[in-house]
Amino acid sequence: MARGCAHGAWRRAWRVARLPCDAHVMRPTLFEFAGGEPAFLALATAHHTRCVQDPELNHPFSHPDQHPQHVERLAAYWAEVMGGPPAFSQSCGDQSSVMQMHSGNGDMRDLGRRFVDCFVRAADDAGLPDDADFRAALRAYMQWSVDDVLAYSLVEPSAVPDGMVMPRWSWDGLQVSPA
């Protein structure tokens, strides 16, 4: 018998402690909800295909010096941002390297909307869950990401700060800011 408890009170407390927790069930990460790495590879593949087919986005997505694993790296980046494993940051770089790659390209504001539209449609093409909250979180992430990239598009790569951490995005939006 527990000290300081009457026999019946201790037994009731023990029974209550054994009951399943009534706390809300933790929501999966966006990465998990999407379907993990295969889902993000499908999303990146579909997005790349849509961008190559777009008359305005075609140029930045079809240049000959593009990394041969561009789609796989993009999938790893999005997966990590959405709560997946740190595959991108462990093998490809940090957020600074991503911003440096996209910096110095001139005014690309006219491409932002098209890029987001391709992303939203690619989620359908990739067969990602058609859940309204999930799709809203994906769209909000991509709009934030495009705005972030566009903020660096006019500066030279040397102007991008070193050591920017990978952003983290959840159902509630930005959780870890790169700055």
| Number of independent structural domains in the chain | 1
Any domain includes 107: yes
Mean pLDDT check: name the lowest of 10-24, 141-155, 157-171.
Answer: 10-24
Q: Give the domain extent around 61.
A: 28-176
What is the per-residue DSSP string for the chain?
A: --TTS-HHHHHHHHHHHHSPP-SPPPPPPHHHHHTSHHHHHHHHHHHHHHHHHSTTTHHHHS-TTS-TTHHHHHHHHHHHHTT--SHHHHHT--HHHHHHHHTTS---HHHHHHHHHHHHHHHHHTT----HHHHHHHHHHHHHHHHHHHHHTTS-GGGSPTTPPPPEEETTEEEE---
Residue 112 confidence (pLDDT): 86
For residue 66, what are its two tokens? Answer: 């593009």
Any domain includes 89: yes
- First and final C-alpha spacing in the chain: 55
Any domain includes 10: no
**Which residue has better confidence, 35 or 11?**
35
Any domain includes 49: yes
Integer-rounded Cα Rg, in Å, for the chain is: 22
Any domain includes 11: no
Query: Taking Cα atoms as reference points, which of 96, 97, 75 lies closest to residue 84?
Result: 75
pLDDT digits (tens, 9 = 90+) for 41-86: 999 999 999 999 999 888 777 777 778 898 999 999 999 999 999 9
Residue 177 confidence (pLDDT): 79
Looking up residue 105, the CATH number of its domain turns out to be 1.10.490.10
Any domain includes 55: yes
Any domain includes 13: no
Any domain includes 105: yes
